[in-house]
Amino acid sequence: MRRWVAFSLIILTPSLEASRPLVEMGSEQINHLDVQLTHPQPVNNIPLTQAPGRVVLPPAQEFAVTSRQPGMISKVNVSIGVKVRQGEVLAEMDSIALVDLQRALIDAQSVFRVADSKLKRDDTLLQEGVISKVRWQETHSDFERSQATLKAAEQTLLVSGLTIGDIQRLKAGAQINGAYRVLSPTSGVVLERFAIVGQRVDALAPLFKIGRLDELWLEMDLPQERLKEIRLGDGVELESPRAKARIIEISSNVNPLSQTALVRARVEEGQGELLPGMHINVQLMHRSSDRIFRIPLSALFSHEGRQYVFVRREGGFEPVEVAVAGQEAYSVVLHEGLEGGESIVVQGVAALKAAWVGQATAGHSD
């Protein structure tokens, strides 16, 4: 008698299928129990497993900034984590070696001017028949050598950190100066800074590391026994921060100490929320062509070792057995039991389950 008092608002009648009694309920009873409904969401991926991951930059997105010449760092303009633009001045240096290179440019320019003047003179003399062709060829050869030496001096200064404008000013008579600016080779973020004011460095000494953030990867160490479950192209999802990635590489090598293999994924959505170096938990998803649905975890309930959801039917709610393919943090993915388009209960499940179990118990007693 107590059972029927507790659920006096719910009318239970057997359906045509004895195994699925319909829990009949009108609008007033639904509002009283605050039953809430939702629709299953069709999805293409089945959750496999969760794993720790880390955000990294692809190797092609990292750029080393080095000293072009030996010298001393006189100024540092940026620190770690700062965004920089291509061509932005990262630091300034003083170099005696650069002074020697600029002097070599001035000397090469002087020799070239003399050779150019001689060639023009001999061009005229050759046309007038004053000099021989051999004499003109010697003058022309001197001109080409001086021209090549000048171009080599210019190229050396370009790779040493000077700009074309700096070189033109030197050739126009600007004062020789051993100071030069260290420029960023690309737009990005300063990942590492090795430069210290007052430090003496050799040529090609590392000063900064710049990273471009327009492409990010996720790296995960997956237990070797789970490798057979994943494929290239499978998805990877993050709850916080929310992002999505796709597997692009599965290592063929297993770490002998941890018995894990490295799995890499390229971030496709939400990369603006991620930064290199982050350690996060990820959900690996397997792409499937089956008819599968995602529902809130609150909609699922168990009974006698089986799992069910309540589906809205005309006049009430029907418990429908389902098969779970995978579970996420706040939802589950089903691959059997639903057809799509149904309305399922996400709030009020406990009351409906109690009524359903009570009906089944009463039926057995009869």
Q: Where are the domains of the chain?
A: 2-44+289-365, 49-59+214-288, 61-211
Residue range 238-278, pLDDT digits in tens: 877 889 999 999 999 999 999 999 999 999 999 888 999 99
Q: For residue 7, give the nearest of 310, 353, 321, 300 by alpha carbon.
A: 353
Same fold across 49-59+214-288 and 61-211:
no
- Predicted confidence at residue 289, as pLDDT, reads 73
- Determine the pLDDT at residue 361: 64
DSSP H/E element including 48 = strand 41-56
pLDDT tens digit at each of 366 positions of the chain: 333 333 334 444 443 344 457 888 888 888 888 899 999 999 888 888 889 999 999 999 999 999 999 999 999 999 999 999 999 999 999 999 999 999 999 999 999 999 999 999 999 999 998 999 999 999 999 999 999 999 999 999 998 888 899 899 999 999 998 988 999 999 999 999 999 999 999 999 999 999 999 999 999 999 998 888 889 999 998 877 889 999 999 999 999 999 999 999 999 999 888 999 999 999 898 887 778 999 999 999 999 899 999 999 988 899 999 999 888 878 899 988 898 889 999 999 998 998 888 776 655 555
Give the C-alpha separation, 133 to 127, whole Å.
10
Q: Rounded CA gap, 257 and 176, in Å?
A: 59
The neighbouring-strand residues paired with 334 are 293, 324
DSSP string, 293-353: EEEEGGG-EEETTEEEEEEEETTEEEEEEEEEEEE-SSEEEEEES--SS--EEEESHHHHH
Residue matched to tokens 């001393």: 72
CATH H superfamily, domain 49-59+214-288: Efflux pump adaptor protein, beta barrel domain (2.40.30.170)
Judged by DSSP in three states, 70 sits in: coil
> CA 84, 88, 91, 95: dihedral to nearest 10 degrees?
150
The CATH number of the structural domain formed by 61-211 is: 2.40.50.100
Q: Smallest Cα–Cα separation from 76: which of 237, 230, 190?
A: 190
Token pair for 128 = 């007038």
The strand pairing partners of 24, in sequence order, are: 11, 316
Cα separation of 314 and 26, whole Å? 10
Residues 125-138: pLDDT tens digits?
Answer: 999 989 999 999 99
Q: What local confidence, expressed as pLDDT, does residue 8 receive? A: 39
- Contact between 155 and 47 (Cβ < 8 Å): no
Give the pairing of strands 243-254 and 306-313.
unpaired
For residues 103 and 157, the answer to whether their CB atoms sit within 8 Å is no
Hey, which residues does 261 pair with through a beta bridge? 222, 254
CATH hierarchy code of domain 2-44+289-365: 2.40.420.20
